[in-house]
């Protein structure tokens, strides 16, 4: 393959070919980075023009399993529906490239990104955006700006830009930025929790009464949240942003010779009717204020629709389908103008709140008596019912990644559902949409750093029952409280808040806890999650085209203020939680001296099976470090099993007897079977007394001679591996 452009970038080399592959597409780019090869294509429909005020852009990121030398798992041996990673990557590319298209662009556009060869250390999300942007830049569409991505990691306090995937796994920060040579377009960020895997023995006199005093207290591994503070984040953004801007200059310089001739395309001319705008502004501004007071989206839409009908009644010359659409646009323009002017000039929002004011919050926990845990979190007119289910390691979600070897397990899941009735829409509930997957992933990134799974599987499901602004942040708050309502340990309290901004020239206003109206008519959607101390996850989409780091810092600190307010309310609710006793599974974690594990398991697993059956629990024991995990349906059974194990640990070991053929010993009949009886010897070793060895005369029924618990005298006849054959002693 001949490459047109070869670039040596930060921690990565990229080579591009524009003239040899997929030549019938409007634009294509073949990207090679290391052993990774990606093809990105852009195709537009030149004839159809969508008249709605919407850019009909579709992005599909597709991974081929042959790229990593794999055959698809499961029954069908070909690629089927997109994986979560493919869908999330498609969203990232879409959100980064959508702002590039000129206003009025209504031609359906398809961007396809296909991974043909995959190296295990390649960052596919960075390369996918770079390839798609290159294909768009050299296409015959009038796009004259390059977009690229940079990822930042922090390892041992050192900032690394464009890390390998191995480096990213050891990082406490995962920050993804996209933008042009002049402005940021999107930010995705998450902090990554770490585990302290060392077990420290503290000598006496510090003792744990539930353990063998001779061992001392053992400190269990703790899960640490590596939340990043606002000042540190701004420093990271500053360095990453500079690299991003420099990279785009390099791209545009290198790609310019390969751009196609621009194809003339029809753009939607969408200018509001000035006469109508002026009429609405002078005669119906009070009606628009009334409509805005109906804060629910459905109620507001109804009020604006009634206003349009009333105007047409008084202005009969506008009673035409085309003119009615123009009137709708004029009302929308005046509404947007009023909302923004009120915020910028009067520092008051449409619902009367101050710029930094959070809507009223109410919290109800464990309202579902048969679920393991639940939380109904309501903030203003946004309401999320978050339900938690606990499971074992076998309940984890299995998935395959192109860059990982073998199958992976996901033990912490957050699933977000957004039914139409939550915004007053009559729409059927179908499969999971990209937006739902993206919001669930954001909530997962927010909560995962503070949860110590310790071998269990947790699934959170957020059912959005009402939505008027940032239901994903309600999912984070409700998700945290559902964790606590299940008595699951967390390293900190985490909440989420959605921030917005309205700007006009040098004048701007930052808004806390935005509602749907402010998201629609504002210039920024900025979601921040974290504790009072730092940020665990962040997502930002900028609509106005760039934001200074000074304004971003101000927004981050205002978000911290709002987050702290929400956390105080959440902690009050946390103190009132009543657990679903009898429903919620109980789990106990403790350590024992590994030298006692043999006594707990017993011969051929007899002792541990008896404990499991008696107390109806599941027991996991780490033979290496003596870590014990007991899980059961109720606390009584779990506590009983734990007490039983501690009794075994605290009982001095019985000295093993050396058995020899011909030796005679006293024993107790433990279990009778058709072919004989199992006899427990003095040191709890079992032996089999066969039915033919019970008596010199023929025995038809063992129970005619022996009974369970009976003391008898037996002789060692022979050893068969680990099994002992017994006979009745004379």
Same domain, 410 and 524: yes
Residues 390 and 477: beta-carbon distance below 8 Å = no
Nearest to 422 by CA among 483, 460, 367, 378: 378
Residues 381 and 296: beta-carbon distance below 8 Å = yes
Token reading at 23: 């030549």
How far is Cα 259 from Cα 94, in angstroms, rounded to an integer?
21
How far is Cα 342 from Cα 349, in angstroms, rounded to an integer?
7
**Residue 667 neighbours by CB under 8 Å, 6+ apart:** 679, 680, 681, 682, 687, 711, 712, 713, 714, 726
**Residue 681 neighbours by CB under 8 Å, 6+ apart:** 657, 659, 665, 667, 687, 714, 724
Helices within 576-627 (DSSP H only): 597-601, 606-615
Token reading at 378: 């309501």
Q: DSSP string of 77-130?
A: -S--SPPHHHHHHHHHHHHHHGGGSPTTB-S-EEEEEEEEE--TT--HHHHHHH
Residue 238: how many CB atoms within 10 A of its CB?
11
How far from 413 is each of 71, 272, 446, 459, 521, CA to CA, in Å?
A: 26, 46, 12, 5, 33
Q: Which domain holds residue 692?
A: 664-728
Residues 101 and 56: beta-carbon distance below 8 Å = no
Helices within 206-320 (DSSP H only): 230-255, 274-283, 285-293, 297-314
Token reading at 177: 């930025």
Same domain, 670 and 644: no
- End-to-end C-alpha distance for the chain, whole angstroms: 90
Same domain, 324 and 417: no
How far is Cα 458 from Cα 392, in angstroms, rounded to an integer?
8
Nearest to 19 by CA among 6, 34, 1, 46: 1
Same domain, 323 and 430: no
Same domain, 148 and 89: yes
Token reading at 95: 């959100």
User: What is the bridge-based pairing of β-strands 457-466 and 412-417?
Assistant: parallel
Q: How many residues does the chain have?
A: 730
Angle, CA 482 vertex, CA 480 and CA 485 arms, to 5°: 115
Same domain, 185 and 334: no
User: What is the bridge-based pairing of β-strands 664-673 and 711-720?
Assistant: antiparallel
Domain endpoint, select from 318, 346, 374: 346
Residue 471: Cβ-neighbour burial (10 angstroms; 0-12, 13-18, 19+): buried
Judge whether 321 lies within some domain. yes
Domain endpoint, select from 623, 650, 677: 650
* pLDDT tens-digit map of 108-159: 999 999 999 999 999 999 999 999 999 999 999 999 999 999 999 999 889 9
Judge whether 209 lies within some domain. no
How far is Cα 59 from Cα 18, in angstroms, rounded to an integer?
20
> Which 8-state DSSP code applies to residue 653?
P
**How remote is the C-alpha of 691 from its chain's centroid?**
61
Token reading at 576: 């009132």
The CATH number of whichever domain residue 407 belongs to comes to 3.30.230.70
How far from 143 is each of 101, 138, 583, 670, CA to CA, in Å?
A: 7, 8, 58, 83
Same domain, 598 and 567: no
Residues 297 and 304: beta-carbon distance below 8 Å = no
Helices within 170-270 (DSSP H only): 230-255
Same domain, 640 and 613: yes
Judge whether 269 lies within some domain. no
Same domain, 44 and 107: yes
> Which 8-state DSSP code applies to residue 422?
G
How far is Cα 681 from Cα 660, in angstroms, rounded to an integer?
13
Spell out, as residue ranges, where the chain has pLDDT lower than 50: 194-224
How far is Cα 294 from Cα 300, in angstroms, rounded to an integer?
5
Domain endpoint, select from 529, 545, 575: 575
Judge whether 62 lies within some domain. yes
The CATH number of whichever domain residue 719 belongs to comes to 2.40.50.140
> Which 8-state DSSP code applies to residue 451?
B
How far is Cα 14 from Cα 130, in angstroms, rounded to an integer?
10
Judge whether 83 lies within some domain. yes
How far is Cα 456 from Cα 484, in angstroms, rounded to an integer?
15
Residue 205: cis peptide before it, omega within 30 degrees of 0: yes
Element (H, E) at 33: strand 27-33
Token reading at 667: 């024993």
How far is Cα 142 from Cα 255, in angstroms, rounded to an integer?
14
Judge whether 213 lies within some domain. no
Nearest to 566 by CA among 437, 687, 674, 480: 480
pLDDT value of residue 211: 29
pTM higher than 0.75: yes
Question: 434-447 and 84-97 are packed helices; what angle lies between their axes, rounded to 10 degrees?
Answer: 100
Question: 297-314 and 321-341 are packed helices; what angle lies between their axes, rounded to 10 degrees?
Answer: 120
The CATH number of whichever domain residue 639 belongs to comes to 3.30.1370.10
How far is Cα 291 from Cα 300, in angstroms, rounded to an integer?
5
Residue 666: how many CB atoms within 10 A of its CB?
12
Judge whether 709 lies within some domain. yes
User: What is the bridge-based pairing of β-strands 524-530 and 412-417?
Assistant: unpaired
Same domain, 128 and 19: yes
Same domain, 250 and 279: no
Q: What is the largest CA-CA distance in the chain?
A: 120
Domain count, the chain: 5
**Residue 67 neighbours by CB under 8 Å, 6+ apart:** 37, 115, 116, 117, 118, 402
Element (H, E) at 7: strand 5-9
How far is Cα 431 from Cα 425, in angstroms, rounded to an integer?
17
**Residue 656 neighbours by CB under 8 Å, 6+ apart:** 683
Residues 90 and 115: beta-carbon distance below 8 Å = no
Q: What beta strand segments (E) does 118-254 contain?
A: 148-155, 158-161, 173-179, 184-191, 194-195, 200-202, 217-219, 223-224
Residue 8: how many CB atoms within 10 A of its CB?
8
Nearest to 230 by CA among 238, 242, 241, 222: 238
Identify any residues that bridge with 530 across adjacent strands, giving them in sequence order. Answer: 495, 535
How far from 710 is each of 610, 682, 700, 703, CA to CA, in Å?
A: 20, 14, 19, 11
Residues 15 and 33: beta-carbon distance below 8 Å = yes
Token reading at 438: 């993206």
Same domain, 567 and 423: yes
Token reading at 472: 């994903």
Residues 101 and 44: beta-carbon distance below 8 Å = no
Angle, CA 544 vertex, CA 539 and CA 547 arms, to 5°: 65
Element (H, E) at 434: helix 434-447
Judge whether 165 lies within some domain. yes
Token reading at 296: 């629910």
Token reading at 398: 């299995």
* pLDDT tens-digit map of 162-177: 999 999 988 999 999 9
Identify any residues that bridge with 704 across adjacent strands, giving them in sequence order. Answer: none
pLDDT value of residue 532: 93
């Amino acid at each position: 393959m001949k490459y047109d452009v070869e670039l040596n970038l930060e921690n990565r080399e990229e080579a591009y070919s524009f003239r040899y592959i997929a030549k019938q597409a409007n634009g294509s780019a073949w990207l090679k980075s290391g052993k990774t090869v990606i093809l990105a294509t852009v195709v537009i429909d030149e004839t159809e023009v969508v008249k709605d005020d919407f850019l009909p852009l579709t992005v599909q990121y597709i991974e081929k399993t042959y790229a990593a030398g794999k055959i698809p798992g499961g029954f069908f041996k070909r690629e089927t529906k997109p994986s979560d990673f493919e869908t999330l990557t498609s969203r990232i590319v879409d959100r980064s490239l959508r702002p590039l298209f000129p206003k009025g662009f209504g031609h359906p556009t398809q961007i396809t990104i296909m991974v043909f060869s995959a190296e295990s250390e390649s960052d596919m999300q960075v390369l996918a955006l770079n390839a798609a942007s290159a294909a768009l830049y050299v296409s015959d569409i009038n796009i004259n700006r390059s977009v690229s991505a940079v990822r930042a990691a922090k390892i041992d306090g050192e900032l690394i830009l464009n890390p390998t995937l191995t480096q990213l796994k050891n990082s406490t920060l995962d920050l993804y930025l996209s933008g042009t040579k002049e402005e940021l377009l999107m930010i995705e960020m998450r902090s990554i929790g770490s585990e302290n895997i060392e077990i420290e023995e503290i000598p006496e006199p510090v003792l744990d009464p539930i353990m063998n005093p001779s061992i001392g207290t053992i400190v269990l591994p703790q899960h640490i949240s590596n939340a990043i503070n606002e000042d540190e984040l701004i420093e990271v953004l500053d360095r990453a942003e500079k690299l991003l801007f420099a990279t785009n200059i390099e791209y545009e310089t290198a790609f310019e010779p390969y751009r196609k001739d621009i194809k003339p395309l029809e753009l939607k001319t969408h200018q509001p009717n000035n006469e109508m705008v002026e009429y609405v502004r002078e005669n119906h501004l009070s009606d628009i204020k009334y409509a805005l007071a109906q804060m629910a989206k459905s109620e507001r839409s109804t009020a604006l629709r009634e206003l349009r009908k009333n105007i047409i009644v008084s202005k009969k010359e506008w009673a035409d389908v085309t003119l009615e659409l123009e009137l709708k646009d004029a009302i929308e323009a005046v509404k947007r103008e009023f909302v923004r002017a009120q915020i910028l000039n009067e520092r008051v929002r449409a619902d009367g709140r101050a710029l930094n004011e959070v809507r009223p919050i109410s919290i109800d926990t464990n309202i579902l008596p048969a679920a393991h845990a639940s939380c109904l979190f309501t903030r203003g007119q946004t309401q999320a019912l978050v339900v938690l289910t606990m499971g074992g390691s076998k309940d984890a979600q299995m998935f395959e990644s192109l860059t990982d070897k073998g199958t992976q397990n996901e033990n912490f899941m957050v699933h977000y559902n957004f039914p139409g009735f939550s915004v007053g829409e009559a729409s059927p509930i179908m499969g999971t949409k990209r937006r739902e997957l993206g919001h669930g992933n954001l909530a997962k990134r927010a909560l995962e750093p503070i949860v110590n799974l310790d071998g269990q599987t947790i699934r959170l499901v957020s059912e959005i029952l009402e939505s008027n602004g940032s239901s994903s942040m309600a999912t984070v708050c409700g998700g945290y409280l559902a964790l606590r309502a299940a008595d699951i340990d967390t390293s900190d309290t985490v909440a989420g808040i959605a921030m917005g901004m309205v700007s006009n020239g040098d004048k701007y206003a930052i808004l806390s806890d935005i509602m749907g109206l402010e998201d629609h008519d504002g210039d920024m959607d900025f979601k921040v999650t974290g504790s009072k101390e730092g940020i665990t996850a962040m997502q930002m989409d900028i609509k106005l085209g760039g934001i200074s780091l000074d304004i971003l810092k101000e927004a981050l600190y205002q978000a911290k203020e709002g987050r702290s307010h929400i956390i105080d309310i959440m902690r009050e609710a946390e103190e009132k939680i009543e657990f679903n006793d009898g429903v919620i599974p109980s789990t106990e974690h403790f350590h024992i001296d590994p030298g006692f594990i043999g006594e707990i398991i017993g011969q051929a697993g007899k002792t541990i099976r008896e404990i499991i059956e008696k107390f109806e629990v599941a027991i996991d024991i780490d033979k290496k470090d003596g870590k014990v995990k007991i899980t059961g349906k109720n606390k009584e059974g779990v506590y009983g099993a734990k007490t039983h194990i501690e009794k075994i640990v605290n009982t001095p070991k019985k000295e093993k007897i050396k058995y020899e053929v011909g030796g005679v010993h006293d024993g107790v009949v433990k279990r009778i079977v058709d072919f004989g009886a199992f006899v427990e010897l003095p040191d709890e070793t079992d032996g089999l007394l066969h039915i033919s060895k019970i008596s010199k005369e023929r025995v038809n029924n063992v129970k005619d001679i022996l009974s369970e618990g009976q003391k008898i005298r037996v002789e060692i006849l022979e050893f068969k591996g680990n099994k002992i054959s017994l006979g009745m002693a004379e």
